[in-house]
Amino acid sequence: MIKTVGILGAGQLARMLAQAGLPLGLKFIFLDPAVDACAAEFGEHICAGWDDEAALTDLGQRSDVVTFDFENVPEVSASLIESLCPVYPPPRALYQSQDRLREKTMMQELGIPVAPFYPVASRPDLIAAVEKIGLPCVLKTRRFGYDGKGQAVLRFQEDLERAWQSLGDSELICEGFVPFQAECSIIAARGRDGETVYWPLTRNLHREGILAVSMAPAFDQQLQARAEVMIKSLLDHLDYTGVMALELFLMDGELLANEFAPRVHNSGHWSIDGAGTSQFENHLRAICGLPLGETHSTSYAVMFNLLGEMPAFATQQSVDQFLSQAMHWHDYHKTPREGRKIGHVTVTAESETGLEARAAQFASELGVAAELNFETILSKP
């Protein structure tokens, strides 16, 4: 019987995993180099680097199972722990997700639709890729990019040299630009026995490359079924255990895959307050060999990320007022910093009309209604 879960990483995702796991009777040990890791209050924090073999060995020896809360954990570190105890999702999923070229090649080989792509290792490679793909296109680093970092949109020939000067020191990939009607994500959980459950396909809106708003449910069953087939092919191919998110573009009625995340995902935070079982609880259920919970929507939901610092109106009185209106506050207890995810709010309602009214009110209070074109995310694509 699993009692202790080790987590590589101790950020907000690890924090929410622990919050979901404590009622299940689980204990947590986190390994993270950050002194102020926000998950630490929910378990033991081993403050050490990802290459600290003694710390990794300690984590592996004292845990019944180990998982991770972000995909840039070195595969060699996960593999070292795997020699001591089970690690889920499997380190090979980390390996595939950590390089965009490997990731896109794997999806293409599985028959998952993706935008055209070419590896870029030199200026001539970049020129050749742009000639094949055409403009506009997107130049990205193959590793470590997130929240819009490590990429540049190429719209004109003169953009090529600027992008090369900015990104040319890294291994790169050039991808076709997708003029999408909507961004979305499908999140699924696969148990040790292969049992798989899916949350509703979620519509996402980004602001300066960072997820700003997610809404679920947001699409019809036909698109839901297509998304489930796509992510299931990944889960089965990797013999996966745990929660996975697949980010998608909707273009001309078809879904194109962008990237997958081998972990719980920002666009699934609404599931804490709007689904039968949250992504965090089901991830723990999966890796611990427990039956998976129901993933149906219990309400219409819109999740807002809180970035940088808590809103000026977020006094306790204001929070209490919003909570009485089915607005669920989640404070990560992180030090404020520009662009940093420090919390989220999920607005729920029993009808789409009620959701629109409540969510629009909160967006107005947050000061992002016009900037995010909030009507767009509430409209059906």
Q: Do 155 and 293 belong to one domain?
A: no
Task: Among 141, 160, 176, identify where a domain stops.
Answer: 176
Token code pair at residue 299: 């309400």
> 4-8 and 65-68 as β-strands: parallel, antiparallel, unpaired?
parallel
Q: Do 120 and 236 belong to one domain?
A: no
CATH of the domain at 154: 3.30.1490.20
Q: Do 346 and 365 belong to one domain?
A: yes
Chain length of the chain: 381
CATH of the domain at 18: 3.40.50.20
- Which pLDDT score is estimated for 75? 84
Q: Phi, psi (5° rounding) for residue 238?
A: -90, 0
Q: Do 161 and 191 belong to one domain?
A: no
**267 domain residue, yes or no:** yes
Q: Do 190 and 168 belong to one domain?
A: no
Domain count along the chain: 3
Long-range contacts of 158-161 (CB under 8 A, 24+ apart): 160/126, 160/127, 160/130
Question: Average pLDDT by consecutive 10-residue portion of the chain (381 residues)?
Answer: 95 98 97 97 97 97 96 89 96 94 97 97 94 95 75 92 88 95 97 97 90 93 97 98 98 96 97 98 98 97 91 65 74 91 93 85 73 58 66
- Which pLDDT score is estimated for 48? 97
- Which pLDDT score is estimated for 318? 61
Range of the domain at 229: 182-378
CATH of the domain at 285: 3.30.470.20
- Which pLDDT score is estimated for 372? 53
- Which pLDDT score is estimated for 169? 84
Q: Do 195 and 241 belong to one domain?
A: yes
Q: Do 224 and 352 belong to one domain?
A: yes
Please, which residues bridge with residue 185 across strands?
A: 202, 247
- Which pLDDT score is estimated for 319? 61
- Which pLDDT score is estimated for 311? 82
Q: Is the peptide bond before 136 cis (omega within 30 degrees of 0)?
A: yes
Q: Do 259 and 171 belong to one domain?
A: no
- Which pLDDT score is estimated for 375? 59
- Which pLDDT score is estimated for 365? 77
Whole-model pTM? 0.94
CA dist 76 and 58 (Å) reads: 16
Q: Do 228 and 364 belong to one domain?
A: yes
